[in-house]
Structure 1
């Protein structure tokens, strides 16, 4: 992926979701093309499973309410049980390196939502690294959308 280029981002809203509502349920499916560097973001009330390829290198996210009043939850599939530990380690490294770009693209694409509800920029980002290997399977706090831009 690399450096964020707005002209390489293509956004699609699914039926029932607009640029400013709803917040919940609001799910984000971010995929990309390794060939062109294009990013494809689908925003809907559910994930765009039809956009996901077998390599599972997508970034899934959505707004949630639980113990914390409101937070943004991310799911990353590190290995899906298909890869050996070395490959999982490499994917983990790539996801960690590229996640700030993915979050930047999501905030940029959904800027009308963030402008309408400025408190969303202060919501915690919780990232779930999903892996069969215990050293990669973890949940981490990645700050806020506001902290990504400062």
Structure 2
């Protein structure tokens, strides 16, 4: 896995979110700039809809109850709802770039993970939303701790 440039990861805490708490209710919106290669992570009670563009290339993730614990569960939009671009290409890009997005999340919220090291064991499940069953899948990207 190629490491991201940590100086190009920016975080913004919104609402009642603080670097250390709370865990539950914490939602992440991860976006990027194609021009600067910067990654932006918004941590809030709600997804940062003001940061979502017509390209629909954001990753959204939240802490949710899962089996006997919690998981980071999120999604990306591969096609549909006015999304521009070929589903095959978008799916491939999302899949290949997901480790970068997860590294950005882990880096941006590192103070939370430092305070609660057991969170690094949390599984990450990302639903690739598509009207085509070939691409409409949920992938397990492993524990978030592998992205630190």
TM-score, scaled to structure 2: 0.92
Task: Name stretches of at least 5 consecutive residues in structure 1 with no aligned partner.
Answer: none
Q: How far does the alpha carbon of each residue in 1:74-105 deviate from its partner, in whole angstroms, 9 at most, with x for none?
A: 21111134468x80000000001100011011
User: 1:72 offset after TM fit, Å?
Assistant: 0.5
Distance 1:3 1:87 in 2: 27
Structure 2: give runs of 5+ residues left out of the alignment.
none
Aligned residues: 147
Matched with 1:54 is 54
Matches within 5 A, 1:24-39: 24-39=24-39
Distance in 2, matches of 1:133 and 1:20, equals 39
Is the partner of 1:65 in helix, strand or coil? strand
Q: How does 1:1-150 map to 2 (within 5 A)?
A: 3-82=3-82, 87-149=86-148
* CA-to-aligned-CA distance 1:88-130 (integer Å, 9 cap, x gap): 0000000011000110110011111001111110011111010
Distance 1:117 1:82 in 2: 40
Using the size of structure 1 for normalisation, the TM-score is 0.91
Moved over 3 A (4+): 81-84
Give the Cα separation in 2 of the matches to 1:129 and 1:77. 6
Contact 1:81 1:131 (8 Å CA) reproduced: no
